[in-house]
Each structure stands twice: as structure tokens, then as C-alpha cells.
Structure 1
Amino acid sequence: MSFIRTFEGDIKPDTLGFTYSHEHIICRPPYWVEKGEDDLLLDDYESSKKDVLDFKNAGGKTIVDATAIDYGRDVESVARLGKETGVQIIGTAGFNKSFLWTAQLTRSHREQLGEYETYGQWIEEASVQQLTQHVIREVEEGLEGTSYRGGQVKFGTGYNRITPLEIKTIRAVAQAHHETKAPVHSHTEAGTMALEQIEILRQEKVNLHYVSFGHMDRNPDPYYHEQIAKTGAFLSFDGVAKIKYYPESTRINCILELVKKGYADQILVSGDTARKSYYKHYDYGLGLEYIISKWVPRFIEEAENRGFHGQELIDKFFISNPARCFRFK
């Protein structure tokens, strides 16, 4: 019987409800701490909580927190926030991308992982098997020594390249997926290298129906999207509201192109809201309520104007597709 793993335990997929598939709620990424990039530090509990409550009050039920160990998770705080707001949280085991790994390990991570200087040193010196066992522990026992278990496993690669250490983490995450049956999530920098990632996953005999590829709207190429969709994988359009990259019209066009080609059941939508300036209650940004309150009505209108049933598509993107994507196989 399939299930979805949240911080509050395993649930039936049909109880997931309206879901954001890729967000960051509370985190202090060591790399950005060292660089002094305060905008990328989501470190005020009450501000994060107010935005999550806005999401809940607008009709949201579940948030996938895509923050991996190398991106400064605060597992206990996110879990407490979920309890206090009543929003279900899915946590993430695994890794992000290699340029973040130049950062110094935090003291707690040194205690947990060993006396390495940086995340890169840890990944380089550990074997694939050791990294696999680390990811398995995060899914089966708990994230960073807590009792809150990961509900997906993650890897990432950089812009237009995959480094040897990233290949190592892809293989470790793939093997942890086989052992735990957890769904897999991929970070693609600016939407690149998904097809190359797929080649490695196929070498590891991963069924791509259990994989979601993030940041697809950062590379608004319908041909490229179709090649990924043909594998059976999920495509996450998780940059909603980030007009600095592309207008919403570009994002919506890419989504509707996939719908037209028959891939509506493989689309996820979210905001990857990872800066203070994106949050309403940190720095007056659009906030976690924006997608539900503003983007969804616009999408429905545009879909209807093109002959699609807008509300049915929204139900797929935010309810039924996440219920399939995030289930343990």
C-alpha cells in the first residue's frame, strides 16, 4: 500500500490536499551565511509562520520543504511550525548542488558527519555506499538526528554541467531510493542538465515515474520539456512569481504546451520561495499566498480561453499529481 511521509507520520495519498511541491520555510544556508547574503537566510520563525498561515487560510494543506542538509535546514523549527499551523510538511533527505559545498560544515554537522572542513570534503572522502547509508538514515530514522523523517530524496547539479561529486550524490540518492522506496527530486540549475541526469538515473535502474525535476520554468523550452515528460517523470514549474526570470505568460505557455501534448498528469507547480524579499511577512514580498490567491485564478482564465478546463488542471497540479509524485512506491 502506498503512503506519503510527512513530519507528523505517514499518511494516505488522498489526504495530501492542496500542495506546494517545492518551498523553503526556515533555513540558514552555510554558503550564503559565509557570503553575507541576508536575503537568502529565512531565519525568523514568526515571519515564516505568518506566511505559512496565509497559505493555509487561502486553502493550502501541504508544503514540501525541499531544504537538504547542505542548505541549512532547521528541522525542529519547521516541524514545530507545521504542528502550530496545521500544515502538513514533507521533508527532504539528500543533497543540493556542488557550489554550495565549499561552505564550512556547521558544528552540529561535524558532530553528525565527522570532522570534515567543508561539505565538499565530506562528500569527496565518503564512499557512495556511505553517502547512500546517510540518505537512508534520514528517510528511515530522521533528519539530522531528529525523529522527523524525510519524505523524498534529493540531488542536484550546476548550470550546464555535472561535477564528479554531483554524479556521486546522484548515485547515492538513486541507491537510497531503491532501498527506501522514497520519491526522488532533482535540482536542475536554471533548468539545465535534466536529460544528462536521466542518463545516470537509468544507469542506476531508477523508474523515472518516481522522479520530479525542479526549476523547469527556468528553461522555457517546450521541446526540452517534452523530452523529459516522455520518460514518465514529473516536471516542477516552481518559479511562480519570479518575473525577474520570465513573465507568467511564458511559464503558463510552457505548462499548457505540455497539457496539449497529453502530459497534464506530470506537472507540479510551486514558488521555491527562498528569499526574505519573496516572503510577505519578512520583506513585503508576494508571499506564500500569491500562487493560490493570484496565480491560480489567472491560470484558470488563460486555460479556459484556450479551450482547457482550468479548474481540472489546477486540481491535477496541486492535488492529484502531488499525491502520486510524493508517494513511496
Structure 2
Amino acid sequence: MAPRTVRTVLGDVPPAELGVCNAHDHLFFGSPRLPGQELRDAGAATAELTAFGAAGGGSVAQWTPYGLGRRAADLPPLARAAGVHVVAATGLHQAVHYAPEVLDRLRGRLAEVFVSELTEGLATSGVRAGFIKVAGGFHALDAHARWTMTAAAEAHHATGAPVAVHLELGTGALDVLDLLCGELGVAPSSVILGHLNRAPDPVVHRQAAESGAYLAFDGPSRANHATDWRMPDAVRDLADAGFGDRLLLGGDTTTAGARSVNGGPGMPYLLRRVRPRLELALGSELVKQILTANPQRAFAVGWT
């Protein structure tokens, strides 16, 4: 059996090398839903990642999937310059983020694209993805979500790569688990559920954790969601129930205005403000586990 490693943009590394991990964020991202706020500036991305490293960060998982401006060729020099590991994503977001002709070109070969990006590289860059990102809908899974998750499951079975899921406003977690793990046979321990802080339902959180999936609380920079002020209670409840080993934290910076280099909270906010607040509620040892040991397991794969 191959040793478990994390596939970063600079190559496979032992999980312990990730250090303190921002388990969900974006260095580059562009969508027609956010005109004028695209993350395209390589200099700003380098400055943001460097600031995260200066705050004690060791790695970032970039959840930007296929077709949304990943700028794969820029990721290795950026990671080297900042001294921070970057794990890139393959996958596909909700249909609203793409022109219809882009989706049409992927019909019948989506799983093949995912596998190629995990094993050979993103486009012609040679930079290999380390996980698959897909997305659900608001309290439901539409045909697009089922198509992308079916392809993600195929790619997972072919490679072992973890599957990270954008939950629209934090909803639909149990439907996602029913599809990915129930119908499609993905091990729950290979599933990361994102944005659970946006729908702070303790019953759903508990049921999702009981499945064995990872639960990501990953949007502290978004003031319009129930993030910082409710996150400590939600995380503490899960930890007290015995699920401290299933929790992840991230920043999810998706617009230029949210970057710290542009006056927003940005990536450093996770360590500058969220970490000490959680340490008050949970204790430093549990927070250290959530930021280090948990993501090291969540993103580690015995690549096939």
C-alpha cells in the first residue's frame, strides 16, 4: 500500500509538513456571479499567502475548481515565495458559475477530466490537483450536482482523492452524504463538507459528524453569515460529543475586497482572530488538533 501523502502544487509531501492548515480558501477565483471582484492578481495572492504564513500558517487548500480562474501555473512559484504549501482542486462548481458551452464540452468525460487533473496536471501546467471540489444546491441536489458528484465519486474510486463539497448556505449536508456515500460508495472519511457555519443546525451537524465525514467551518471573513459569534458553540458541541477529530477550519476569501492586503480580513484572520477566540472556548490543544492533525488526515491519500 502506498504511504499516505498530501498532493501539493510542489509535489507530494508527508501530511505532517502541512503544519497549520487553512482547509478552505482561494488564491485565484473568478465567476460571472462576482463581476469586478475576481482574484486575479498574482502579486496580491503572493502577499496574502505570505501574510498567512507570517501569522503561523503552513498550508492552504485552494477550493477553486475547473474553469474558474485557478491560474495553476502561478501556484508553484507563489507557494515557494510565501513558504506555504498549497493544495489545488479539480472539480466543478454549480452550473450558474459557467457558460453553457463550457459544460457542454465536459459532457460524457467529466470523471476523465478530474482523474487527469489529479494524476497528470491542471491544463498544461503539470500542477496536479490534490482533491476534488463539487457543490450542492440550496437544501437540494439538482441534476447538475448529481452529475458532478457522480463524476467526483468515479475519480475518487480511481485515485483515492478526497471530495470537498460546497454546501449552498450550509444546507443539504445529509442529501450530499446520501448520494456520495450511500449511492456512490465514497467512504465518509474521504468527504469534506464545507460551509456548515452558514447553517448552524446542531442536529444536522451531529448527524453529519456521525457519518464519519469531515465538517469544515470555513467562512469567518463573511460578516453576513452566522460565523464567528456562533462558531465556538457549534464546534464545542461537536467536540463534546466526541467529534473533535472531524472538524476543519478555513477562511474562504472569494473577492478582492476581502483580502487583507486590500483592507479586508483575508487569510490571516483565521489565525489572528478566529483561532484565539476558539482557544478561549475550546482550549488550545483542541484548536491545534483542528488546525493541524485533522487536515493532515483529511487531505492525505495513498494515491493509486
Q: TM-score per shorter chain, which class?
A: over 0.9
**How many residues in Structure 1 have an aligned counterpart in Structure 2?**
299
In 2, distance between residues paired with 1:231 and 1:160? 19
Deviation at 1:313, TM superposition (A): 1.2
Corresponding letter in the other structure for 1:146: S
Report how far residue 241 of structure 1 moved: 3.0
Residue 132 (structure 1) aligns with: 111
The superposition leaves residues 34-83 of structure 1 with CA deviations (integer Å, 9 ceiling, x where unpaired) of x6x212x0122212211111111111110001100132211112222112
2:36 maps to amino acid: D
Equivalent residue of 1:162, what SS? coil
What code does the residue aligned with 2:298 have?
C
Moved over 3 A (4+): none
Query: Residues of 1 paired with 2:155 and 2:227: CA distance?
Result: 37
1:253 pairs with one of 233, 238, 254: 233
CA RMSD across the alignment: 1.4
Aligned amino acid, residue 13 of structure 2: I
- Alignment of 1:56 onto 2:58: no
**1:290 aligned residue (269, 278, 283):** 269
The correspondence for 1:93, drawn from 90, 95, 105, is 90
Q: 1:73 aligns with which of 70, 75, 78?
A: 70
Residues in 2 aligned to 1:74 and 1:57: alpha-carbon distance in whole angstroms: 23
| In the alignment, structure 1 residue 183 sits paired with structure 2 residue 162 | yes
Of residues 160, 171, 175, the one that matches 1:196 is 175
Q: Letter of the aligned partner of 2:177 in structure 1?
A: I
Question: Are positions 1:122 and 2:124 aligned together?
Answer: no
Aligned twin of 2:222: 242
Secondary structure in 2 matching 1:213 = strand
Distance 1:72 1:160 in 2: 27
| 2:17 alignment partner in structure 1 | 15
After TM superposition, give the deviation of residue 190 of structure 1 in Å. Answer: 0.6
1:243, distance to aligned residue in structure 2 (A): 2.3
Report the 3-state secondary structure (helix = DSSP H, G, I; strand = E; otherwise coil) of the residue aligned with 2:29. coil
Report 1:103-114 matches (<5 A): 103=99
Are residues 1:325 and 2:298 paired? yes
- Measure the CA separation in 2 of the matches of 1:147 and 1:325: 23
Residue number in structure 2 paired with 1:306: none
Alpha-carbon separation, structure 2, partners of 1:2 and 1:97: 30
Query: Shift of residue 232 of structure 1?
Result: 0.2
Other-structure match for 1:113: none
| CA shift digits 1:141-195 (9 cap, x unpaired) | 0012211000001211221222212201101100100101111111111111111
When Rg is computed on C-alpha atoms for both structures, the one with the higher figure is 1
State the SS of the aligned residue for 1:150.
coil
Q: Which residue of 1 aligns with 2:191?
A: 211
Question: Please, which of 23, 26, 34 is the counterpart of residue 24 of structure 1?
Answer: 26
Which residue of 4, 10, 13 corresponds with 1:2?
A: 4
| 1:247 positional shift | 5.0
State the 1:240 CA deviation.
1.2
Report Cα offsets for 1:224-281 as digits up to 9, x if no partner. 1011001000000001132221252211111111011110000000110111121121
- TM-score (ref. length: structure 2): 0.94
Query: How far apart, in 2, do the equivalents of 1:214 and 1:203 lie?
Result: 20
2:121 paired with 1:142: yes
* Structure-1 residue corresponding to 2:148: 169
Q: 1:271 aligns with which of 244, 247, 251?
A: 251
Equivalent in the alignment of 1:114: none
Inter-CA distance 158–247: structure 2 relative to 1 (3 Å threshold): closer
Q: Check the 8 A contact 2:156/2:162 in 1, yes or no.
A: yes
Give % identity. 28
- For the residue of structure 2 that corresponds to 1:145, the secondary structure is coil
Q: Which sections of structure 2, spanning at least 5 residues, go unmatched?
A: none
Aligned counterpart in structure 2 of residue 38 of structure 1, from 36, 43, 59: 36
Alignment check: 8 A CA contact 2:30 2:68 kept: yes
Amino acid at match of 1:166: A
Q: Is residue 159 of structure 1 aligned with residue 138 of structure 2?
A: yes
CA contact 1:90–1:150 (8 Å) conserved in 2: yes
Structure that is richer in helix per residue: 1
